[in-house]
Structure 1
């Protein structure tokens, strides 16, 4: 939290705001705190006897943020989901469009001044004939679905909680149906958070269920997709292409073979980048702080067991 945010929050009647400079100071302050912003560990949580609200510092905190003691603690945790919807959706669709038209091939040719019009009709994914499977139809997945549908893509959604299809989605399905849906998808696009259930979801077995021309896109969380399985499938021609903005290991090591994979398009976890993010983040924080003081419901409450 920046100091300017602290000034903004301190203007809320009934709210006292203090900034901890290190873990030791934070631990002492937590003894009397009713609310906190940031990341706690088990030692800090153990002394936070009055803590009722914890604002996570991001939309989907990394593994380890939700540990056993925090999960069973009565504190309500909120996050910043929803503030990146337009940026991530636009980035995801840009990746789809780039691979559908084989743009990465021409970017590489441009660097060498090559005029090679080798693109065959069969090399293009005609989006009006394509079926996309969006796995994780939260706010971001719903926006991606709407945008893909505008290009004529037939979109199916997979989500454990959403039953009614949002705009652009022809039908919703449960996670248990994923394996039966993969063979019919031309595009498999993931917007999943990292949870115990989603870790390693796209592995060698599931990639083997996809068609050889399938495009795999991940703008959710890196640990949901096995990079070894993706690279191996691309090498063997068992997967058409892959666009990844998030990775099992970040930064992706320079020596990783995916960097040199001709059918892969990689971006360094930048789908969330765009204007107004700081303002949106502060807006969520201020609204929740005002609601907390009034005793009103908070927004973006997290299911601590599911991590989102």
Structure 2
């Protein structure tokens, strides 16, 4: 079996061939693409057109970058697999940090710290106790499920909405995706973890946000194109949300002149929720396992529904 390591991927050629008997790893030359059975990385349309035997593409990420899926790739008979669940713990812990910063009022204290100002706020209403809150997790995949499990340890009532999953540890209920609009009004925390797909692009817009409680916090650690940033900013400006925290953005980097940078009730991190130790080794573990399975003619793990991009 011949695997092409596409540009921008780790140099794992020697290691893979040592770990997977029967595997030959190629650099992405025109001849290699013509004879390759599999590829790892991002495969643009012009490279896909140069292949003749390709049957499997392993993505480098759980949610590949915009443009990874395109009509020719979706129509092609090759199987796509991804890196889901390789940094679940990192993203879930980052999400809890964002949530706690909002519910404990840390944004204002960080602003005070930058000005060396001492302004304690003892108003009980300035804090949202997680033990009395209801969290709605939209997308109960590996990351969403772990966020819900961690929140439940604080005594938070956790409900979920997911197109594929019916239950998860720590959740009081997981509802079908079509019930989302009826669940929003119950949530003090609205946490978005869904992948970017044709169905989720722009799902959080002005209409969505008007269905949330005015006292709710909104958090997005899924994919940036799912949230219309201008609509989110307008909702915050109008007092339709209590605050928000984002790690991913409709446009990345977030433009320096975007008003979200300066909202006092917003926490922004630059798409780093997945940062943490062991990421490369975890990705390698998925790749080598799928290489072994592919050589042996076995079913692959982390197979993607290409029409849905996840």
Task: Quote the Cα distance in structure 2 between the aligned partners of 1:96 and 1:2.
Answer: 34
Instruction: Tell me the TM-score normalized by structure 2.
Output: 0.95
Distance between the aligned counterparts of 2:269 and 2:122, measured in 1?
A: 23
Question: 2-side partners of 1:181 and 1:160: how far apart?
Answer: 14
Shift of 1:119: 4.2
SS of the residue corresponding to residue 80 of structure 2 reads: strand
- 3-state SS of paired residue (1:31): helix
Structure 1 residue 89, shift from structure 2 partner: 0.2
The structure 2 residue matched to 1:102, chosen from 100, 105, 128, is 105
- Aligned 1:206-221 pairs, distance under 5 A: 206-221=208-223
- Using the TM superposition, name which of 54-63 and 298-307 deviates more: 54-63
Q: Which of the residues 137, 145, 154 maps onto 1:151?
A: 154
Deviation at 1:118, TM superposition (A): 2.6
Gaps of 5+ in 2: 1-8
Alignment counterpart, residue 127 of structure 1, candidates 125, 130, 139: 130
**Paired residue total:** 301
| Structure 1 residue 175 displacement after superposition | 1.5
Deviations 1:15-50 (CA, angstroms, capped at 9, x unpaired) = 111122xxxx2x331111111111222232223221
CA distance in 2, matches of 1:2, 1:64: 21
Structure 1 unaligned segments of length 5 or more: list them.
none
Q: What is the alpha-carbon distance in structure 1 between the residues aligned to residue 87 and residue 119 of structure 2?
A: 38
User: What are the Cα deviations for residues 222-267 of structure 1, in whole angstroms up to 9, with x where unaligned?
Assistant: 0111111111111111110000000000000111100000010000
Quote the residue 2:10 is aligned against. Answer: 2
CA distance in 2 between partners of 1:70 and 1:256 (Å): 34
Residue 65 of structure 1 corresponds to 68
Tell which deviates more after alignment, 110-119 or 148-157: 110-119
Q: Let me know the Cα RMSD of the aligned residues.
A: 1.0
Partner of 1:273: 275
CA distance in 2, matches of 1:190, 1:244: 10
- Within the candidate set 113, 116, 120, 1:113 is matched to 116
The aligned residue for residue 140 of structure 1 is 143
The residue that corresponds to 2:290 in the other structure is 288
Mapping of residues 179-218 of structure 1, within 5 Å: 179-218=181-220
Q: Deviations over 1:44-79 (max 9, x none)?
A: 222322111111121111222111111121111111
The Cα of 1:112 is off from its aligned counterpart by: 1.5
CA deviations 1:261-294 (Å, max 9, x no partner) are 0010000000000000001011111111111111
Q: Which runs of 4+ in 1 moved over 4 A?
A: none
The answer to whether structure 1 residue 260 and structure 2 residue 267 are counterparts is no
